Amino acid sequence: MIKTDVVIVGAGPCGLFQVFELGLLGIHAHVIEALPYAGGQCIQLYPDKPIYDIPAIPEISARGLIENLLAQIQPFAPEFHFEQRVIRIQPTSNGRFTLETDTGVLFDAGAVVIASGAGAIRPIQLRVDGIDQFKDQQLFYAVTDETRHRGKRLVVLGGGDSALDWVIRLQPDAESIVLIHRSDRFRAQTYAVQQMHDLCEAHQMQFLTGRVVDYMMAEEQLSGVKVMSQDGVIRQLELDHLLVFFGLSPDNGTLERWGVETERNQAKVDTERFMTSCPGIYAVGDGNWYPGKKKLILSGFHEAALAAFSIKAQLNPDEKVHLQYTTTSPALHKRLGVSPDLSDLW
């Protein structure tokens, strides 16, 4: 049993910023994330696309935003539990919560923050019997280290933004790259599709319509795939790495099982504390709902700040919660590990 002040469910932008806001108030958090890394849908769906509506940052990539958030929360030493889903949240008689993940890890938390967006998300798998044995070795559902694919013969599956973006990004450093999609109609941005076709016309990559129906092995390694085209012909394609981008499978059905009232499959919250119908369980980001809700990252950041103050009051009911500013507060400077020169303020 891991005992902590707060458990945050979800390591996307709002979950990470929740760590920061809690840390400023002296509250420690553990973070549970279904994916094998932080970033949520930002990293999974559009890691290198620019974001323009983060205050005071004219332009930043999703990857850059997550990297900055991870750097920002370092002083508070959050503890991450990746590739785990919360399957049970149970209130206890002493006003705390017991949480259990699908790997059997148990938590004893004073409060819970749901920051899981559309729900625990996992990549949609390639349905070919036996191919999962190569997962994270030669079969990948996300790109976490681009250098790993340099100089490799790459085959990429998918027709959405992620597939097209990664094809374009990885092409310059790959030995060869082939994109396979079930048709010549894409769900990606028009400019990305055109760029892919331009690369094909320049003989810098190849595009095939069809679907992978089987794989080949050599010396216990994945050596290729068998692709069935629309005319029923099966072709063999050699490769070093297979990258699959079929999208994500969200699951927010667990909210009701946790005793949280929902609206449109999202947790209903009040806009003063961002608490759900279950006292002690909060929700921030795309996974919550209230009148006027806008699914924006900056809205989630605002929600995380107010939720943190409410959690502080809940965990320390006899302690008055004072609003302090990171610009001038020595207590916050100590928690952040900084020593600014404030002499010019006086």
Its CATH class, for the domain covering 125-246, is alpha beta
Lowest mean pLDDT among 44-53, 270-279, 307-316, 330-339: 44-53
Residue 232 is given by DSSP the state S
SS (H, E, C) 34-47: CCCCCCHHHHHHCC
Q: How far is CA 310 from CA 2, 59, 107, in A?
A: 23, 32, 21
Does residue 208 carry a pLDDT above 60? Answer: yes
Q: How far is CA 183 from CA 135, 167, 179, in A?
A: 25, 17, 11
Query: Helices in 25-118 by DSSP H: which ranges?
Result: 40-45, 62-72
pLDDT of residue 341: 66
Q: How far apart are the first and last CA of the chain?
A: 49
pLDDT of residue 231: 84
Decide whether 2-122+249-336 matches 125-246 in CATH topology: yes
Tell me which long-range contacts 68-72 makes (C-beta under 8 A, separation of at least 24): 69/13, 69/16, 69/17, 69/20, 70/16, 70/38, 72/16, 72/17, 72/20
- The Cα 20–Cα 16 span in angstroms is 7
- The Cα 176–Cα 239 span in angstroms is 9
Summarised one tens digit per residue, pLDDT across range 240-290 is 999 999 987 766 557 778 889 999 889 999 999 999 999 999 999 999 999
Its CATH class, for the domain covering 2-122+249-336, is alpha beta
Cβ count within 10 A of residue 335: 17
The rounded mean pLDDT for the chain is: 92
Summarised one tens digit per residue, pLDDT across range 9-34 is 999 999 999 999 999 999 999 999 98
Summarised one tens digit per residue, pLDDT across range 52-93 is 999 999 999 999 999 999 999 999 999 999 989 999 999 999
Q: How far is CA 83 from the centre of its chain?
A: 11
- The Cα 226–Cα 204 span in angstroms is 22
| Residues 147/150/152/153 CA torsion (nearest 10 deg) | 110
Classify the C-alpha dihedral 83-86-87-92 as positive or negative.
positive
Q: What is the pTM assigned to this prediction?
A: 0.78
Summarised one tens digit per residue, pLDDT across range 121-173 is 678 899 999 999 999 999 999 887 889 999 999 999 999 988 999 999 999 99
- The Cα 178–Cα 208 span in angstroms is 7
Lowest mean pLDDT among 36-50, 232-246, 310-324: 36-50
Domain ranges of the chain: 2-122+249-336, 125-246
Does residue 235 carry a pLDDT above 80? Answer: yes
